[in-house]
């Protein structure tokens, strides 16, 4: 069999302690999953059912302890950082129960849900999809994946982001409105999960813009730090 046009390469992420890499399938993102962030976005942080949006696999870009770069994307004047706990799915399934959900997790990482906020809010106001605000190449810098086998499950711990050394976002993963297990269970009712799927679990308060040249340093306790510079 020959592909009629070049096939897209498989996006992959490094795995801590392994020479294997993690193949990125789909990227699901939870919206407004910390109460203080829901409030800063002008929404009531009721415990409504979670909602999801997606990014393409090529949104994922390897980040890590040593500085990496992402381009400043086109068509925005308000490019926002969202530091998030990232879940890498190792085993697929549908209608997964909350009790069984964490057994589907391969590992965890630190990630950024980079957002063209002006385009997202414009779409929100018009009742249109968020794609142009959220779903674009290199919009999800993600650190190396820490396997559950080495670090255990991540159910709490500090999550933080600085820009040029100044604090911007700080919270605790315990503050998630919908836990990792609940998000997996809920999502799997709507769409069977597959190995390689990524779930970005939502950002805490303090989202704000970055400009060309800014250095973002994001961390989740136990999962290290990623350093990502917005290219000039």
15 vs 76 by CB, closer to Mn ion? 76
Which one, of 68, 142, 75, 115, lies nearest residue 210 by Cα? 115
Write out the two tokens for 139.
Answer: 């919009």
Which position among 76, 120, 183, 203 is part of the footprint of Mn ion (CB under 5 A)?
Answer: 203
Q: How many CA atoms lie within 13 A of 189 on its CB side?
A: 11
Q: How far is the CB of 53 from Mn ion (least distance, A)?
A: 8
Q: Does 14 bind Mn ion (CB under 5 A)?
A: no
Q: How far is the CB of 232 from Mn ion (least distance, A)?
A: 25
Nearer Cβ to Mn ion (135/203): 203
- Judged by DSSP in three states, 115 sits in strand
User: Footprint of Mn ion on residues 74-103 (CB under 5 A)?
Assistant: 82
d(Cα 12, Cα 142) in Å, to the nearest integer? 10
Give yes or no for residue 53 binding Mn ion (CB under 5 A).
no
Q: With beta carbons less than 8 A apart as the criterion, state whether 82 and 134 touch.
A: no
Q: Assess 171 for contact with Mn ion (CB under 5 A).
A: no
Tokens of residue 20, six digits: 């294997």
> Is residue 113 involved in binding Mn ion (CB under 5 A)?
yes
Nearer to Mn ion, 115 or 188 (CB): 115
90 or 133, CB closer to Mn ion? 133
**Residue closer to Mn ion (CB basis): 82 or 197:** 82
CB of 211 to Mn ion, least distance (A): 20
Q: Alpha-carbon distance 129 to 160, whole Å?
A: 28
User: How many binding residues for Mn ion (CB under 5 A)?
Assistant: 3
217 interacts with Mn ion by CB under 5 A: no
Does residue 37 bind Mn ion (CB under 5 A)? no
Nearest to 194 by CA among 63, 96, 53, 113: 96
81: phi then psi, degrees, rounded to nearest 5: -90, 145
Q: CA 223, 211, 26: angle at the middle one, nearest 5? A: 45
**Residue numbers at the binding site for Mn ion (CB under 5 A):** 82, 113, 203
């Amino acid at each position: 069999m020959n592909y009629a046009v070049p096939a897209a390469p498989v996006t992959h992420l490094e795995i801590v302690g392994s020479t294997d890499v993690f193949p990125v399938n789909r990227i699901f993102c939870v919206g407004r999953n910390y109460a203080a962030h829901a409030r800063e976005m002008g929404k009531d942080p009721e415990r409504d059912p979670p909602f999801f949006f997606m990014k393409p696999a090529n949104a994922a870009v390897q980040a890590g302890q040593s500085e990496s770069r992402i381009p400043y994307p086109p068509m925005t004047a308000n490019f926002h950082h969202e530091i998030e706990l990232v879940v890498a799915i190792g085993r697929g399934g549908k209608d997964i129960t909350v009790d069984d959900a964490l057994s589907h997790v391969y590992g965890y990482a630190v990630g950024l849900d980079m957002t063209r906020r002006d385009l997202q809010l414009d779409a929100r106001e018009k009742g249109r999809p968020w794609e142009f605000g959220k779903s674009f190449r290199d919009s999800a810098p993600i650190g190396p994946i820490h396997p559950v086998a080495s670090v255990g499950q991540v159910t709490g711990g500090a999550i933080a982001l600085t820009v040029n050394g100044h604090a911007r976002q700080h919270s605790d993963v315990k503050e998630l409105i919908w836990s990792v297990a609940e998000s997996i269970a809920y999502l799997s009712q709507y769409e069977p999960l597959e190995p390689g799927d990524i779930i970005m679990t939502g950002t805490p308060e303090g989202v704000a813009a970055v400009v060309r040249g800014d250095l973002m340093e994001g961390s989740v306790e136990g999962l290290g730090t990623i350093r990502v510079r917005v290219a000039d």
